[in-house]
């Protein structure tokens, strides 16, 4: 079966997006992993299916590059919103469902999209950082200079820490060098990505909890700049929005079964 896809990127976080509203695509984890491989496939940090929904404009089904599902991806959510608008699946203001719940999204312009994230009901403080769940789990470590951190080695070590067993965690390193910056190790990718939406949200909330920095908080990822808006009441965060670039890279087709 020929697989028709588009590729989008949000601040360098790139995704293969497939319209599967007819339910005909049923890729295996291995096939998804191969499609995401940067040498033997299309190359991406993840694959997203646009699925039919009876309660929203569409449903989002997200897979990491290892072929396993994840409940949410912030940059992937912004990219699928832009895809849905480009393909006339939804208007400029839309609602879509993901495994972590319902999300609103708005197209700001040709290159910028914002989405509403789930509420966050608390942040766990450790001696070496903070942990929270913004749709998927994230550990945030404050460092002097992210460029001096071996993200793959240190990130993998923290992701595998027994505190986060059995499901592990994503890891974000952040500093404040001429503004807040972030470097992210993503489980499922098992390496550093140029940006991470849920990680940027987690980092912004932890920055607020640690330093009192008010909304909105701009954070520079290695692939681009993202902005996080939020409202805080006691230890809970609500009305959280993630804003940043979502851009189509190219479209194509392939026989995924032969990859």
Is 206 noted as a catalytic residue in this protein?
A: no
Q: What is the DSSP letter of 190?
A: T
Q: Strand pairing partners for 243?
A: 114, 227
- Cα 218 to Cα 8: distance, rounded to the nearest angstrom: 22
Q: Which of 36, 73, 79, 206 is catalytic?
A: 73
Is 196 noted as a catalytic residue in this protein?
A: yes
Residue whose C-alpha is closest to residue 12's, from 190, 185, 195: 195
Q: Which of 36, 79, 196, 206 is catalytic?
A: 196
- The answer to whether residues 15 and 76 touch, using CB atoms and an 8 Å cutoff, is yes
User: What tokens were used for 49?
Assistant: 């299916």
CB-based contacts of 62, cutoff 8 Å, min separation 6: 46, 47, 48, 69, 70, 71, 72, 73, 76, 98, 99
Element at 164 (helix H, strand E): none
Provide the annotated active-site residues.
Answer: 73, 196
């Amino acid at each position: 079966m020929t697989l028709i896809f588009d590729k989008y990127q949000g601040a360098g976080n790139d995704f293969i997006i497939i319209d599967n509203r007819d339910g005909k695509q049923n890729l295996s984890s291995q096939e998804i992993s191969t499609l995401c491989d940067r040498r033997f496939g299309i190359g991406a940090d993840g694959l997203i299916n646009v699925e039919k929904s009876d309660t929203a404009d569409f449903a989002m089904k997200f897979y990491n590059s290892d072929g396993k599902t994840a409940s949410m991806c912030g940059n992937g959510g912004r990219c699928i919103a832009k895809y849905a608008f480009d393909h006339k699946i939804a208007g400029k203001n839309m609602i879509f469902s993901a495994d972590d719940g319902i999300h609103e999204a708005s197209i700001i312009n040709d290159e910028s999209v914002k989405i509403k994230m789930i509420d966050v009901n608390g942040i766990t403080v450790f001696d070496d950082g903070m942990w929270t769940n913004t749709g998927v789990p994230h550990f945030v470590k404050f460092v002097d200079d992210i460029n001096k951190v071996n993200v793959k080695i240190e990130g993998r070590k923290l992701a595998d820490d027994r505190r986060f067993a059995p499901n592990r965690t994503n890891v974000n390193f952040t500093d404040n060098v001429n503004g807040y910056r972030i470097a992210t190790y993503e489980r499922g990718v098992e390496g550093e990505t140029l940006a991470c939406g849920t990680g940027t949200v987690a980092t912004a909330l932890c920055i607020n909890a640690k330093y009192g920095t008010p909304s909105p908080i701009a954070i520079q990822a290695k692939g681009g700049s993202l902005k996080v808006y939020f409202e805080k009441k006691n230890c809970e965060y609500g009305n959280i929005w993630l804003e940043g670039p979502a851009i189509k890279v190219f479209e194509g087709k392939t026989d995924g079964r032969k990859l």
